[in-house]
Amino acid sequence: MGTTTAKEKIETIEDSGFPIGFKFRQGTARPDILGAGPARDVYVTEARALSGYQKEGIVHEGETGSAWRMATDEGLHLGGADIAPFPLGFFNAGLHADLIGRILQIAKARDIQIDDLKLDLKNGYYVIGSFVRGDAKGHVEPSRILAEISSPAPADAISKLVHDAIKASPAMATMQTPVSSTFAIYVNGRRRVVTSLPNSDTPDVPDPYKTYSAVPTPLAGSDELSDIIWKTGEANEGEIQPAINGTDDKVKRIVRTIAGNSELLDPAGVVETDAVLGLPGMSNFKFKTDERVDGDQAPSGLALIAAGIAFCYLTQVERYTIHQKFNIRGARLVQYTPFTLSGHPADGSWTGDIEPVDTHLFLSGEEDDETHEKLMKIAATVCYLHATLADSVIADVKIDLNGTPI
């Protein structure tokens, strides 16, 4: 785990000099959830706030999979440093990767030849209310998906393939299957009873500050892909405008659109996704993912989904702390994200799902217990991805086969 002591922990992404994403610990086998049969795996994310809006997390891919360190930041519009991808970019890239992985697995099971595959996938979110007043609430809109496929297979087979893959994707289930997330809160080292959100019945979990006595460092000798997560240097046209936080009654709806485009780097299941926030001046970031059961050279799409949920929630914790001037610091969390598969890819019964996400939030500060829980609740209410978990929206899907819409 490196030689840096706890007292010397980095406070910015740049301090470490490490890549934005890297393998931290080698697993013994890729999780069953990436395979073609029934499965259940719990992805565990340990994340902590750094300086500003930066955060780092370790995502464990089930009990047997590898652990990946990832870092996130917000754009300049929110007061971030724009060093690493924004949380919603992780989530968008995770949807791309997992869906492509399911398309490839079903195609293999049905002996359908796929010569090329690209996705254009947009996510829409909005907030109604004022973040500063504390009445803001996050909402999600249906994904808009365009699948561009080259294949000699007939149109009806390709159409069924794509729609069955959406049903089979646990990542897509985060948007289609409503779940009631659970929460636990630890204030100054002691767990408190949660009264305003569904209370977690999971026993106490270790504080990430105690788990990691040293800064997570890249695994020596790893054969991971280069540039697993990287900033491309490209950006949307226009000048960056500061985000509106709803400081008056005139602000009713703040909309965010995430645009992602992905392609296969390896036809067996290595995917690269370019994701950007649809605002002027926003930077593009790319993510490489590995959906191969015999791969493990990059995180799976489900790892990005788990990281995105954790990072988005911590961003809201930070924003509300800043705007309310709470004397609260050191936010970190442990999050359990259970994904399941049932049925089989060949016959159309394959179904991906997600179970309630369980978040354990750790905070330190001089505020009373009620204020700490208030912070926890408003962050959960305004968090776009917790809103996504709680809602049920069906994707708008279009398919181009060999350049022709079907």
Alpha-carbon gap, residue 132 to 285, rounded angstroms:
29
Give the pLDDT confidence score for residue 243 in this predicted structure.
79
Tokens 């540039």 locate to: 227
Give residue-wise pLDDT tens across range 236-289: 999 999 876 544 444 557 789 999 999 999 999 999 999 999 999 999 999 999
Top-confidence residue, 370 or 10 = 370
Give the burial class of 132: count Cβ atoms within 10 A of its Cβ; 0-12 exposed, 13-18 middle, 19 or more buried. Answer: middle
**Bridge partner list, 212:** none
Give residue-wise pLDDT tens across range 357-384: 999 999 999 999 999 999 999 999 999 9
Alpha-carbon gap, residue 164 to 106, rounded angstroms:
8
Top-confidence residue, 390 or 250 = 390
Q: Which domains does the chain have, with CATH numbers?
A: 6-405 (3.30.300.20)
Give residue-wise pLDDT tens across range 175-205: 999 999 999 999 999 999 999 999 999 999 9
From 216, 240, 229, 210, select the one nearest 94 (Cα to Cα): 229
Q: Is the pLDDT of residue 8 over 50?
A: no
Q: Is the pLDDT of residue 356 over 50?
A: yes
Give residue-wise pLDDT tens across range 71-108: 999 999 999 999 999 999 999 999 999 999 999 999 99
Cβ neighbour number for residue 403 with a 10 Å cutoff: 8
Average pLDDT of the chain to the nearest whole number = 94
Instruction: Give the pair of three-digit tokens for residue 50.
Output: 């750094």
Range name among 56-70, 318-332, 389-403 with the lowest pLDDT average: 318-332
Query: Reading across the β-sheet that carries 253-266, which strands appear in turn?
Result: 229-235, 283-290, 270-277, 253-266, 116-128, 137-150, 396-401, 404-405
From 312, 337, 372, select the one nearest 86 (Cα to Cα): 312
Tokens 């499965």 locate to: 39
Alpha-carbon gap, residue 288 to 294, rounded angstroms:
16
Alpha-carbon gap, residue 60 to 305, rounded angstroms:
12
In contact, 94 and 303? CB cutoff 8 Å: yes
DSSP 103-166: HHHHHHHTT---SEEEEEEEEEEEEES-TTTT--EEEEEEEEEEEEEE-SS-HHHHHHHHHHHH
